Structure 1
Amino acid sequence: MKLYRLLTEDDTSAFCHKVSLALSKGWELHGSPAYGFDAAKGVMRCAQAVTKEVPGKDYDPEMKLGEQ
C-alpha cells in the first residue's frame, strides 16, 4: 500500500527539518515543492508531498501517517 502526506510549514528551517525527518523515515519526495503567501499570517509557506510504500498493511483513515 502506498501512503501519501502533504507536509506544510512556514518558510523557515523548520520546513526543511520536517521534510528531512520524513525522508529519514523512508518517505520519498513526490512532485515539486510548492511555495505561496499566507495572507492571514503574513508569511510565505512551503509544501511538499511525500509518499511511502508500506507492505502488508490495510489503509485505515485513523492511522497516524507521521508514525508510519
Structure 2
Amino acid sequence: MSVIITVETSNGDDEIRLSIAQFLHERFGDGIKNCCIFLPTVSFDVKAPDKSWVAKIQAKFPGALVKVTEEN
C-alpha cells in the first residue's frame, strides 16, 4: 500500500533544503507530487511505497517535519 508523505522544513539554510530535495529525488524520482516554497518553509509531498519511509527520512533529516498525509 503506497502512502503520501509530507516533508517540511523551516530551516533557513539553503544547503539543508537542497539536501532534502536531492535525497527525495534520488529515492522517489517521479514520486514527488508537490513542492511548495514559502521561504523559509519548503514542503514536499512524495509517494512512498510504505510508512517505513517516515522513520528513514526523519533519521536523515531530524529537524524536518515528516508525516503521512494520505494512504492509498
Report how many residues are paired.
54
TM-score by length of 1: 0.54
Higher strand share: 1
Q: Which runs of 5+ in 1 are unaligned?
A: 38-43
> Percent identity between the aligned chains?
4
Q: Is residue 29–residue 48 contact of structure 1 (8 Å, CA) maintained in 2? A: yes
Hey, which bits of structure 1, 4+ residues long, moved more than 6 A? none
2:18 maps to which residue? Answer: 16
- Which has more radius of gyration? 1
The one-character-per-residue Cα deviations of 1:24-68 (angstroms, maximum 9, x if unpaired) are: 22362013x21225xxxxxx21111111235xxxx6xxx452428
* Counterpart Cα distance in 2 of 1:52 and 1:20: 15
TM-score by length of 2: 0.52
